[in-house]
Amino acid sequence: MLLPDKESITVAYAIDTGEVESFGKIGTTKTEIDRLCKRLKSKSARVRVVYEAGPCGYSLYRHLIDRGFDCMVCAPSLIPKKPGERVKTDRRDAVKLVRSLRAGDLSAVYVPGVEDEAFRDLARAWASTRDDLRQARQRLKSFLLAHDVRYTGRADWSEAHRRWLSSYSFANTWQQLAFEEHRRTIDDRLAQCLRLETALREAVVNWRFYPVVLALQAMRGVQFVTAIGMVSELGDLSRFTHPRQLMAWLGVTPSEHSSGNRRRQGSITKTGNSYARKLLVEAAWSYRHGARVARQIQVRHEGLPKAIIDRAWDAQLRLCQRYRKLVARGKNANIAVVAVARELAGFIWDIARLAMDLALPHDVQSA
């Protein structure tokens, strides 16, 4: 019924089985929204509200829920669309939402709690800063390569590499200034990363999904960065009643176009959360090698229940074998890893469920 944007909200409504009518546009202030709520309640005792998920977040959803409305945030990419439809306006979209809601054709978006969303914002800020740091380092490397300045060792930002960078200087004053600015950008991003990581490690202990973050780190390829990113994006995994639902939400299930007796499957759908899918696939690459419990994993196992450690070991045995079988059948390594990532999502779902059921103590420290 609502189509919110930055400056206005387009409204359409229908009473019972009557015709869909356009209400027009209103402002985005709470006063104008409350006035709309009163007018809608005067038309019917029970009001259902729906609007598209967008850049304005979930404040409107929470405001309507507080006012006693039955509200749903729907996924814009899953709204039915006619193939020949070429005219798009806010009014048409609002009317279409009402008709789709009546027909039951809309898919709801998971709305996190206020605390969960705040923690996710902090985790996303950390992820964005890490990306900025990576790009800043790449810019400096490109700058040095353009001027044929080469480091003889391994340019992996180790202590020796950073010491060489700090001692190098250009003969030209302008080039030296540009070089120093590139270095300062890296130092600033690195300090920002450390601040955010420290804040996350302090905050996660008081988060309700802290047991899940700890339990996921028992798995191979899932360290603190991956566990924090996955859980903050996924939220409450209990909303997935079956691991296949989580696989579909992550977009790692194969697409399909079947008709009659012919079944055709294509590449993965890549729907849902792209950042969580990226972390999942990165974790899946670690299962290319044989199953073993490295020293780093042993440290992360300390204080965890045996049931979670055993399930993580089952995942290693299963996924490492799965990768070898797929490669032996001639599958490309990238395709094999995505298949492993799909099954890894199932183990993540199971271990997260175990962690919440066992209620891990908060005195267990994350590695």
Tell me the per-residue pLDDT of 274-329, one tens digit each, with 9 for 90 and over: 999 999 999 999 999 999 999 999 999 999 999 999 999 999 999 999 999 999 99
User: In the predicted model, what is the mean pLDDT of residues 155-168?
Assistant: 93
Distance CA 179, CA 8 (A): 47
Q: Are strands 265-268 and 254-256 parallel, antiparallel or unpaired?
A: antiparallel
pLDDT at residue number 1: 65
pLDDT at residue number 290: 92
pLDDT at residue number 364: 55
Model pLDDT for residues 89-98, shown as the tens digit of each residue: 999 999 999 9
Tokens at 367, concatenated: 């590695």
pLDDT at residue number 88: 87
pLDDT at residue number 85: 85
pLDDT at 113 over 80: yes
Which range, of 4-8, 149-153, 318-322, 330-334, averages the lowest pLDDT?
4-8
| Percent of the chain predicted with pLDDT > 70 | 97
pLDDT at 121 over 80: yes
Give Cα 188 distance to the centre of its chain: 26
Q: Which residue, among 111, 105, 9, has the nearest Cα to 65 in the 3D structure?
A: 111
Q: Which residue has the higher pLDDT, 103 or 1?
A: 103
Q: Of the spans 16-20, 200-204, 257-261, which averages the highest pLDDT?
A: 200-204
On whether the CB atoms of residues 315 and 361 are closer than 8 A, the answer is no
On whether the CB atoms of residues 276 and 234 are closer than 8 A, the answer is yes
pLDDT at residue number 363: 52
Q: Which residue, among 254, 255, 198, 252, has the nearest Cα to 230 in the 3D structure?
A: 252
How many contiguous H segments (helices) and E segments (strands) does the chain have? 13, 7
Residue count of the chain:
367
Q: Which residue has the higher pLDDT, 1 or 289?
A: 289
Tokens at 203, concatenated: 């905050």
pLDDT-derived band at 86, boundaries 50, 70, 90:
confident
On whether the CB atoms of residues 30 and 51 are closer than 8 A, the answer is no
Angle between helices 59-66 and 30-43 (to 10 degrees): 50
Task: Output the average pLDDT for the chain.
Answer: 92
pLDDT-derived band at 360, boundaries 50, 70, 90:
low
Distance CA 53, CA 75 (A): 6
Q: Are strands 2-4 and 9-13 parallel, antiparallel or unpaired?
A: antiparallel
pLDDT at residue number 367: 47
Model pLDDT for residues 166-219, shown as the tens digit of each residue: 999 999 999 999 999 999 999 999 999 999 999 999 999 999 999 999 999 999
On whether the CB atoms of residues 47 and 101 are closer than 8 A, the answer is no
Which range, of 65-69, 113-117, 355-359, averages the lowest pLDDT?
355-359
| Percent of the chain predicted with pLDDT > 90 | 76
How many Å is the Cα radius of gyration of the chain?
25
Count Cα neighbours of 273 within 13 Å in the Cβ-side half-sphere: 21
pLDDT at residue number 357: 87
pLDDT at 272 over 70: yes
User: In the predicted model, what is the mean pLDDT of residues 41-63?
Assistant: 89
Distance CA 179, CA 165 (A): 10
Q: Which residue has the higher pLDDT, 24 or 203?
A: 203
pLDDT at 27 over 50: yes
